[in-house]
Amino acid sequence: MIQTKKRSVSASENGASVSGSDKPVKKVKKNVVSKPVDKPKAKTLKKDSVVKSSLSKPKGKFQKKTIAEKPGEKVEKKPFVANTPESKKEYWNGLKAKQKELRQQRRQNKSKELYELSVSAKKIYEKLKRKTAENKEELVQKLHELLGQQNAYAKIATSHDTARVIQCMIKNASEEIRDQIATSLMPTLVDLATSKYGHHCVSSLFKNGSKQLWARVVNAIIKDVLKLVNHTFSSAIVDTAYNEYATNEQRSFMRQPFYSELFKLDKDRTVQTMKDCWKSNTYMKTNVVSTVKAHLLQAANKKLTDNSLLHALLAEFLEEAGSTERSEVIELYLPLLASISSTRDGTGAAIYCFLHSVVKDRRAALKAMKPYIEKLSIHEHGHRLIMCILNCYDDTVTLGKQVINPIMEQIETIVGSGEWGRKVVGWIFSPEDKDLLHPSQIELLNGYLEHSKKDKEIRRKEVLAAAKDSFCTKLESNPTFWLRGGHTALLTSAILKNLQGEELARLHRALAKVVCDPDWKVHENEINLDGSILSLEADKKPKENVKPATAGTERKIKKIKKSPFEEEKAASREKQLAANPLINGTEHAGLHIALKKMIKQDQEKRQLAGEDVSQFGLAIVEELTVEQTSTWITQNRTSFLLLLVFENSTEEVQQMLRKKLVPLNQELKAQKHTGAKLLAEKLKL
């Protein structure tokens, strides 16, 4: 048994001095020397029910040394020592437990019945939300019986945890139960739509409801549309309802309260547009225009302009308002052009605002738009605004910095995303090209030129000069992309029309290497990319001008937020690619048309610029090997390409081609397809 020293009792504690005198006695601190304790001895302490040894855990810096006591005595609690890992963990665990208890207590104090109801509902919800859950209808029925009898849906729909319970019920419920849930939520729809968590319940009614339920929810929104439009959470619901779920009549009813207060309660089926308000009463025009203007200004000040309902009102207002009212609204909406270009009406209004603004405001608008240029270029409606700016903005230096440079940095993503991106890029390099744009769209874009002062030919040359260097670099680094399919190859052909000199020769050589590659394969149907695949390919490439990490530095890992739909998109894209076989690029129908256009450009350019111009046919003949030439003459389309090269090239190129085909004379004559026969006749072999 380890001997312990008893704590020395001071004279002050006994009430008298030790020496009997009144003089103060100097206290001497005695260091308690503890003998080293071995581990086996520490175990014997536990058996004798003595204080546990503190050797198993390191003592804190300011922790007092505990002294073992005799058996039978009470053990003092280990004191709390600050600034140690154990104390911090103990402190935070205790604090969290207290907070949890207080939170539960507050909920119980608010409504004990609702608290108990939500706890029992969440237990069922934990089973219902699983993908592998069985008998989901029975679980929904239990929840409905639990919540429906007490009319608790509207009360618990605004809480963060119980709102998820209602959303899950709406998703998995039958139509009958879903209608009953909607009926209980309808009286408080405005409060739900403006709630941080409750607005998700309204959205789930649209996603999972029937057409009859859509109509009921939209009618409830119409009653308080003025309030809902100007709220952060409910504005998105109004936009979705107006754009996707409302009928034409309901859309007109949603617009009417913005025209006048007369239509807040009573709707008029004859009023379809703003003009209809003053058809019978002309004096109402001033009142209607001022009312609409006030609503538009309120939405712009709150930055809640990404709403299709407001876009329709803005488009109507700009047509009917006077110059003074119009200028006030344009001034506020110019920095917000990107957000209002998400719909057809909004894009029309954005173009109107840009064209009717002064030079200083236009420059500020372009600066505000710069971060969104890529998204606008590939948007169904937003690309029209970009093309309008490219066609009629006079300051090409600012245009190059704010618009052209962002496009050229992401040109492969923009071109690969679909037809709208190809139209934007095509207008930069080959404006008014009927191979890329419909004549009606060309006419519409040329109509915007009345708001421009500079000559259009001068502006277009300056725009081309600002973009061609970066384009040449992009094409030389990845020529296969620019021949990935028929649509992209047609764009490449249109771009090459307006290029000349050494730049054109470099591009011809890069493209000819791809065309003459025997392993060149493309998909039969060109698939539009959403930018994710291109960005992944860009990440795989080694980055230039990046300094390697030194031995002493630590590498920081940056967290990347992944989209919840990324895996689904990748899976659907893999299915598309699996159903889209790879074929030889020279046998692709769309690519064949584009290559023919490129070869025919040789003769057209020689007529305009002389004999020294670069020739695509020459680049192809130089890249063709004997083996590849023998393969080409066995195929119909490649034989036609060789025929076009012979017809559109100079005599020097014709002689080079003839030298390559003379040794293959017998093979060429043995072919039965039309291309080989015409080629043999043309060469007189």
Q: How confident is the model at residue 556 (pLDDT cuts 50, 70, 90)?
A: very low
| Contact status, residue 407 vs residue 373, Cβ threshold 8 Å | yes
For residue 594, which of 522, 654, 650, 534 has the smallest C-alpha distance? 522
How crowded is the C-beta side of 266, counted as CA atoms within 13 Å? 3
For residue 422, which of 479, 494, 360, 328 has the smallest C-alpha distance? 494
Helix (H) or strand (E) holding 583: strand 582-584
Q: How confident is the model at residue 10 (pLDDT cuts 50, 70, 90)?
A: very low
Q: How confident is the model at residue 87 (pLDDT cuts 50, 70, 90)?
A: confident
- Centre a 10 Å sphere on the Cβ of residue 528 and count the other Cβ atoms it contains: 17
Please tell me the distance from the alpha carbon of residue 532 to that of residue 413, in angstroms, as a whole number: 9
At position 268, the amino acid (one-letter code) is D
Residue range(s) defining the domain that contains residue 218: 114-244
| Contact status, residue 403 vs residue 371, Cβ threshold 8 Å | no
* pLDDT at residue 540, rounded to an integer: 42
State the sign of the Cα–Cα–Cα–Cα dihedral 232, 233, 234, 238. positive
Over residues 639-664, mean pLDDT: 90
Does a structural domain hold residue 284? no
pLDDT at 311 over 50: yes
Q: How confident is the model at residue 100 (pLDDT cuts 50, 70, 90)?
A: confident
* pLDDT at residue 684, rounded to an integer: 78
Instruction: Name the percent of the chain lying above pLDDT 90.
Output: 52
Q: Which of 216, 244, 272 is the last residue of a domain?
A: 244
185-207 as b/e: b if 16+ CB within 10 A: beebbbebbbbebbbbbbbbbbe
* pLDDT at residue 611, rounded to an integer: 79
* pLDDT at residue 76, rounded to an integer: 58
Does a structural domain hold residue 546? no
| Contact status, residue 71 vs residue 5, Cβ threshold 8 Å | no
Does a structural domain hold residue 475? no
Please tell me the distance from the alpha carbon of residue 154 to that of residue 192, in angstroms, as a whole number: 8
> What rounded mean pLDDT belongs to the chain?
82
pLDDT at 88 over 90: no
- Give the bridge partners for 522, in sequence order: 583
Write out the two tokens for 7. Answer: 């704590």
Q: Which of 244, 264, 287 is the last residue of a domain?
A: 244
**CATH code of 174's domain:** 1.25.10.10
Backbone angles phi, psi at 546, to 5 degrees: -110, 120
* Phi-psi map region of 417: left, alpha, beta (phi>0 left; psi -120 to 50 alpha): alpha
Does a structural domain hold residue 425? no
At how many degrees (to 10) do helices 323-333 and 308-320 cross?
150
Q: How far is CA 142 from CA 138, 154, 169, 201, in A?
A: 6, 18, 10, 19
Lowest mean pLDDT among 79-83, 101-105, 121-125, 481-485: 79-83
CA angle 358–380–206, rounded 5-degree value: 115
- How many residues in total does the chain contain? 685
For residue 617, which of 629, 630, 603 has the smallest C-alpha distance? 603
Model pTM score = 0.76
Please tell me the distance from the alpha carbon of residue 92 to that of residue 84, in angstroms, as a whole number: 12
Lowest mean pLDDT among 76-90, 478-492, 607-621: 76-90
Helices (H), ranges, 224-247: 225-229, 232-240
Q: Which of 202, 218, 244 is the last residue of a domain?
A: 244
Higher pLDDT, 389 or 271: 389
Over residues 661-685, mean pLDDT: 86
Does a structural domain hold residue 415? no
235 Cβ contact list (under 8 Å, min separation 6): 228, 229, 304, 306, 307
* pLDDT at residue 547, rounded to an integer: 44
Over residues 498-523, mean pLDDT: 91
| Contact status, residue 474 vs residue 412, Cβ threshold 8 Å | yes
Q: How far is CA 447 from CA 316, 361, 456, in A?
A: 20, 21, 12
Q: How confident is the model at residue 363 (pLDDT cuts 50, 70, 90)?
A: very high
Burial (CB < 10 A; 0-12, 13-18, 19+), residue 241, is buried
pLDDT at 152 over 90: no
pLDDT at 437 over 60: yes
Over residues 399-414, mean pLDDT: 94
Q: How confident is the model at residue 608 (pLDDT cuts 50, 70, 90)?
A: confident
* pLDDT at residue 491, rounded to an integer: 95
Does a structural domain hold residue 42? no
pLDDT at 449 over 60: yes
CA angle 578–582–587, rounded 5-degree value: 150
pLDDT at 97 over 80: yes
pLDDT at 128 over 80: yes
Q: How confident is the model at residue 281 (pLDDT cuts 50, 70, 90)?
A: confident
- Give the bridge partners for 523, in sequence order: 582
pLDDT (tens digit per residue) in 37-66: 444 444 444 444 444 444 444 544 555 444
Q: How confident is the model at residue 79 (pLDDT cuts 50, 70, 90)?
A: low
Q: How confident is the model at residue 582 (pLDDT cuts 50, 70, 90)?
A: confident
Number of domains in the chain: 2
Does a structural domain hold residue 533? yes
* pLDDT at residue 243, rounded to an integer: 92
DSSP 420-446: HHHHHHHHHHSTT-TTTS-HHHHHHHH
Please tell me the distance from the alpha carbon of residue 90 to that of residue 123, in angstroms, as a whole number: 30
How crowded is the C-beta side of 157, counted as CA atoms within 13 Å? 32
Q: How confident is the model at residue 523 (pLDDT cuts 50, 70, 90)?
A: confident
Q: How confident is the model at residue 263 (pLDDT cuts 50, 70, 90)?
A: confident
Over residues 612-627, mean pLDDT: 90
How crowded is the C-beta side of 544, counted as CA atoms within 13 Å? 0
Burial (CB < 10 A; 0-12, 13-18, 19+), residue 409, is middle
Over residues 254-279, mean pLDDT: 87
Q: How confident is the model at residue 68 (pLDDT cuts 50, 70, 90)?
A: very low
Farthest-apart Cα atoms in the chain, separation:
141
Write out the two tokens for 319. Answer: 């047509």
Lowest mean pLDDT among 74-88, 224-238, 270-284: 74-88
Does a structural domain hold residue 427? no
Backbone angles phi, psi at 583, to 5 degrees: -130, 165
Q: How confident is the model at residue 112 (pLDDT cuts 50, 70, 90)?
A: low
Over residues 203-211, mean pLDDT: 93
- Give the bridge partners for 214, in sequence order: none
Over residues 264-275, mean pLDDT: 86
Lowest mean pLDDT among 155-164, 201-210, 535-544: 535-544
Please tell me the distance from the alpha carbon of residue 635 to that of residue 488, in angstroms, as a whole number: 24
Lowest mean pLDDT among 281-285, 299-303, 329-333, 659-663: 281-285
Burial (CB < 10 A; 0-12, 13-18, 19+), residue 243, is middle
How crowded is the C-beta side of 151, counted as CA atoms within 13 Å? 5
